[in-house]
Homo-oligomer: A and B are copies of this chain.
Amino acid sequence: MDTYFTEYENLEVHELMLKDRPRQEAYCNAILKNKDLFKDKVVLDVGAGTGILSAFCAKAGARLVYAVEASNLATKVALDLFDENNLTGIVKVIHSKIEEFALPANAEKVDIIVSEWMGFYLLHEGMLDSVLFARDHFLKPDGLIFPSECTIYVAPCSVPALFDYWQNIDGVSMERFASKLRLQKSTRPEITYLKPADLLHEGIVFHWMSLLDVDAKELDEISFKEVVSTQVAGKHQGFCIWFDVRFPCEEEPVTLSTSPLAPKTHWKQCVVVLPKENCEVLEENSPVAFQILMKRSASGARKYNLEVELLDPNVEEHPVPCSCHMTKCILTKAHLISMDTS
């Protein structure tokens, strides 16, 4: 068993997730407010953990739920949970990796896959590949996946906790300490909470996918290049990355968002911090050109490296229209408006 699974045997990891109210409420609402979708259906829970999502599905009316869990939580926790909630008649616990799981002989494929697989900045230390494996092997052609869509966002931002805070700690300047702290942290993205006011832009979509048709291969490397125009003035000290996932609900849609504007989740946000020499005080409507590369790490498919490169907004092509203050964009925008009104 690799360490990815043994880490999940620490119940405090699950305590953290089960106390993450936005996470819990999103899954609970998506499943229990859509009982029509679950009634008499067969469900596969990929990476069932403590079993709570399988329990939601059973309570929503599913006829049969396969709770597949690779860690020993399957036998040590999930089995007990279904017994405690009188759901053993509906939920079948399978202690297995999904890649080694097989449906019973002659069993039909499943109607619905549910999974809470998301990692930091969506993909890092997540288990999307396992969900896609399950989709390809066990889901009926017209089956549903909970959640069904994911979006990753990026925005230029300030990072006061790593820069401004250290200028004056009760009268003492700690700029050099802060610089060493940033250097120590620079080997990996910072997982932290940003405030809405730290964002210089509401966020643009960096990647979108539907779990119904995305291919695991497409996740090997995701790259994105853009010029965004700041919506407020502020210190540009990094890029904030977050995600949301949406559930295929019949009535009101359910979204679980990890944005700085949404209630806090245990995923926090992911911040790529700029070297101090690249930090800049920007006015509103300043163009920020950058490229992001999110790439599977050679050290393990579940890990992703994240690279952000600042580009020169004088050289890069801007979107059309672009609301930045560069002359060519002001002229283009004016031209488009005049065409629109003529």
- A217 contacts the other chain (CB 8 A): no
Contact residue range for chain A?
35 or more
Contact B176 A81 (CB under 8 A): yes
Q: Residues of B contacting A173 with CB < 8 Å?
A: 84-85
Within A173-208, the residues touching B (CB, 8 Å) are 173-177, 180-181, 184-185
Q: A170-B28, A172-B81 are known contacts. Are A184 and B12 too (CB-CB below 8 A)?
A: yes
- Interface segment among A48-56, A136-144, A150-158, A300-308: the answer is A48-56
Task: Return the CB mask of A61-78 against B: 1 if under 8 Å, else 0.
Answer: 000000000000000110
Contact B84 A175 (CB under 8 A): yes
Q: Is the interface of A mostly helix, strand, loop or mixed?
A: helix
Q: Determine the distance from Cα of A25 to Cα of B12 in the docked complex, in whole angstroms.
A: 32
Say how far A161's CB is from chain B's closest CB, in angstroms. 8
- A294 contacts the other chain (CB 8 A): no
Work out how many copies of this chain go into the complex: 2
Q: Residues of B contacting A18 with CB < 8 Å?
A: 169, 174
Q: Determine the distance from Cα of A24 to Cα of B85 in the docked complex, in whole angstroms.
A: 48
Task: Return the CB mask of A104-142 against B: 1 if under 8 Å, else 0.
Answer: 000000000000000000000000000000000000000
CB within 8 A of A80: which of B14, B55, B161, B176?
B176
Q: Determine the distance from Cα of A196 to Cα of B179 in the docked complex, in whole angstroms.
A: 38
Q: A19-B165, A177-B11, A180-B11 are known contacts. Are A170 and B24 too (CB-CB below 8 A)?
A: yes
Q: Determine the distance from Cα of A170 to Cα of B175 in the docked complex, in whole angstroms.
A: 46
Q: Determine the distance from Cα of A165 to Cα of B10 in the docked complex, in whole angstroms.
A: 19
- A32 contacts the other chain (CB 8 A): yes
Q: A171-B32, A175-B84 are known contacts. Are A180 and B76 too (CB-CB below 8 A)?
A: yes
Q: Residues of B contacting A100 with CB < 8 Å?
A: none
- A15 contacts the other chain (CB 8 A): yes
Contact A172 B55 (CB under 8 A): yes
Q: Residues of B contacting A225 with CB < 8 Å?
A: none
- A59 contacts the other chain (CB 8 A): yes
Q: Residues of B contacting A177 with CB < 8 Å?
A: 11, 14, 50, 77, 80-81
Q: Residues of B contacting A80 with CB < 8 Å?
A: 176-177
| Chain B minimum-CB-distance residue to A165 | B19
**Could you list 14 examples of A-B contacts with CB < 8 Å?**
A11-B180, A19-B161, A25-B170, A28-B170, A28-B171, A32-B171, A52-B170, A52-B172, A52-B174, A55-B172, A59-B172, A77-B176, A80-B176, A81-B172
Chain A contact residues, CB within 8 Å of chain B:
10-12, 14-15, 18-19, 24-25, 28, 32, 50, 52, 55-56, 59, 76-77, 80-81, 84-85, 161, 165, 169-177, 180-181, 184-185
